[in-house]
Amino acid sequence: MIAHRLSTVQRADKIVVLDSGNIAEIGSHTELMAKKGLYYHLASQQLEE
């Protein structure tokens, strides 16, 4: 599944975050939020809206 909305992927077992076609991060929503990497920053922006 490819998605741009956090609500679509946050319950997935594994999320693969791509940046310019390359894998930037892999993990669950909780794991990726704890890393405070690209996924965290993208998710934080969506949660503010």
Domain count, the chain: 1
In a domain, 43, yes or no: yes
Residues 22, 47: Cα–Cα separation, whole Å: 24
Q: What pLDDT is recorded for position 31? A: 98
Question: What are 38's two structure tokens?
Answer: 């690209």
The residue ranking higher by pLDDT, 8 or 40, is 40
* 21: in domain: yes
Identify the band that residue 8 occupies on the pLDDT scale cut at 50, 70 and 90.
confident
Name the CA radius of gyration of the chain, rounded.
Answer: 10
Residue 1 forms part of a structural domain: no
48 pLDDT higher than 90? no
